A and B are shown apart, each in its own frame.
Chain A
């Protein structure tokens, strides 16, 4: 099993739709989780950290489900500008490394 797994997509959704991505991780003791956004031919940029209690920033909500070992990202009222690849990142315990998922491609259609 991969350390971090994501559905690569693409997810094609109409403007205004709500879309959700999941990311599973293999190490149950992992403590730090993040969602990054990567635009085509650009570097990844932090979208949001994922806390045990969940995290909401405007149209974006991130949640952690420890029992099932996954994190989720919910995007409400999708905009054309949300089109990008969303990367799940996990910092496993006892290590300084950051493990990236393969990314989920989102395309918001007009």
Chain B
């Protein structure tokens, strides 16, 4: 299994500001993903973080709003830009050794935008 560390674990942010969430995996993994979970909802995939290239975004999510980096096989960042109260959510980093294998999650970053 993979151990995934995320930070910050929670934050309260001002409207219009940006916040970068960091995700560190304790082993090299092929796949890294970023999910959002809004209150009372299930997980929605934001994007797949690709090592050394641009992330692959899902419908409804764009790079200008959620820029993602993945400089190596164990680290990724997600930035939530120009935040509004609608961005208040849990953001979860996840990783898998390869497609179809078990996916593991970080503890999540709880963002509240005021």
Contacts and interface: CB of A to CB of B under 8 A. Distances in A.
Q: Kindly state the interface size class of chain B when it binds its partner.
A: 20 to 34
A44 B105 contact: yes
Contacts of A43: 92, 105-108
Majority-rule SS of B interface residues: strand
Contacts of B92: 43-44
A34 B43 CA distance: 14
A101 B42 contact: yes
A95 B42 contact: no
Interface of A: 31-32, 34, 42-46, 49, 87, 89, 91, 95-103
Contacts of B102: 34, 46, 49
Interface of B: 31, 33, 35, 41-45, 48, 92, 94, 96, 99-108
In the A-B complex, list the 5 residue pairs whose CB atoms are closest, starting with the nearest.
Answer: A96-B99, A43-B105, A32-B100, A102-B42, A100-B43
